[in-house]
Amino acid sequence: MALGYSEGRLFILAFDHRGSFQTKMFGIEGSPNPEQTETISDAKRLVYEGMELAVERGAQAGATGVLVDEQFGSNVPERAQAKGLKLAMPVEKSGSNEFHFEYGDDFGAHIEKFNPDFTKVLVRYNPEGDPGMNERQLGRLKQLSDWLHENDRKFLFELLVPAEPAQLESVGGDEGRYDSELRPALMRGAIEAIQNAGVEADIWKIEGVDRREDAQMLAEQTRIDGRDGVVCVLLGRGASDEKVDQWLREAAPVDGFVGFAIGRSIWWDSLKGFLDGSISREDAVTQVADNYLRFISVYESAA
């Protein structure tokens, strides 16, 4: 199977959040009991219903994807596949700053059980960060990358580059300056280091950048040395609509970007409203569909 993704646009609704989701949305600490698990799973079914409504309203099923987890995903993976939507599922352990497999060496069996279109990892990697942790992560990621490509499966790599204390200090503690002045070059360096370790992503899910030239730089790095089919999608990072819109408008015209994988920016407020009783389930589902379709419109208008 050739490296990369060649099927055009890809607009993923991401709701594979687990540890942070159960604590921040539901206030549940530790391992949830069966009743709590069902409550969380029902919330994820609501988000998915928004996706189904978006397809009914014109979103192209072939370009539409869901990123959902095994723990709380309930029957969403099966429903998405039955609708002809793209399915992505995570393999990383939730809530860990260092990448570990959620199911240890059994990761392959879990992937085969659900048969997703894309296997996703979330990795925090700063090229100027802890060398030991970076090396350990690269070893596990190489194991996953090799297994996926040996088994003709696609690899969706979500890269976060958190600031090191000295980096943040160099910009006066201003996270906005870190994002605009330092993070783009660090992202490029992280992608290069990951590639040099033999870890080959088909799709890079990356943080947005404020300048088009930075988006161009990142896309070029992902495609370096014959990786011509590799593509990028933007993540939302829970940012405001205005900020996500800016990131989409800068990246959409760049060759190598094909869409987004946005989560909380689409569904957080709607789901919160449903859970506190301020809006109905039907209205929450409609809002999720509206938000998803609006981001597609922003992307396509810019592209």
* pLDDT tens digits along 279-292: 999 999 999 999 99
Distance between CA atoms of 86 and 123, rounded to whole angstroms? 22
- Confidence (pLDDT) at 75: 96
Whether 95 shows a pLDDT value over 90: the answer reads no
What band does 271 get if pLDDT is binned at 50, 70 and 90?
very high
97 belongs to a structural domain: yes
5 belongs to a structural domain: no
Rounded mean pLDDT, 90-99? 94
37 belongs to a structural domain: yes
pLDDT, tens only, 190-246: 999 999 999 999 999 999 999 999 999 999 999 999 999 999 999 998 889 999 999
181 belongs to a structural domain: yes
Phi, psi of 206 (to 5 degrees): -125, 160
Q: What interhelical angle do 281-302 and 241-251 show, nearest 10? A: 30
- Confidence (pLDDT) at 121: 98
258 belongs to a structural domain: yes
Whether 87 shows a pLDDT value over 90: the answer reads yes
What band does 1 get if pLDDT is binned at 50, 70 and 90?
confident
> CATH number of the domain that 204 lies in?
3.20.20.70
> What average pLDDT does the structure give for the chain?
96
- Residues β-bridged to residue 169: none
- Confidence (pLDDT) at 132: 98
Provide the 10 A C-beta neighbour count for residue 275.
15
271 belongs to a structural domain: yes
Distance between CA atoms of 264 and 159, rounded to whole angstroms? 17
Domain region containing 16: 10-302
Residue 142, burial from CB neighbour count under 10 angstroms (0-12, 13-18, 19+) = middle
Distances (CA, A) of 244 to 75, 183, 296: 30, 16, 12
- Confidence (pLDDT) at 238: 86
- Confidence (pLDDT) at 241: 94
Whether 19 shows a pLDDT value over 90: the answer reads no
- Confidence (pLDDT) at 18: 93
- Confidence (pLDDT) at 170: 97
3 belongs to a structural domain: no
Work out how many domains the chain is built from and give that number: 1
24 belongs to a structural domain: yes
pLDDT, tens only, 124-161: 999 999 999 999 999 999 999 999 999 999 999 999 99
pLDDT, tens only, 21-48: 999 999 999 899 999 999 999 999 999 9
Tokens in use for 216? 């161009």
Rounded mean pLDDT, 269-276? 96
Output the 3-class SS for the chain.
Answer: CCCCCCCCCEEEEEECCCHHHHHHCCCCCCCCCHHHHHHHHHHHHHHHHHHHHHHHCCCCHHHEEEEECCCCCCCHHHHHHHCCCEEEEECECCCCCCCCECCHHHHHHHHHHHCCCEEEEEEECCCCCCHHHHHHHHHHHHHHHHHHHHCCCEEEEEEECCCCHHHHHHCCCCHHHHHHHHHHHHHHHHHHHHHHCCCCCCEEEECCCCCHHHHHHHHHHHCCCCCCCCEEEEECCCCCHHHHHHHHHHHCCCCCEEEEEECHHHHHHHHHHHHCCCCCHHHHHHHHHHHHHHHHHHHHHHC
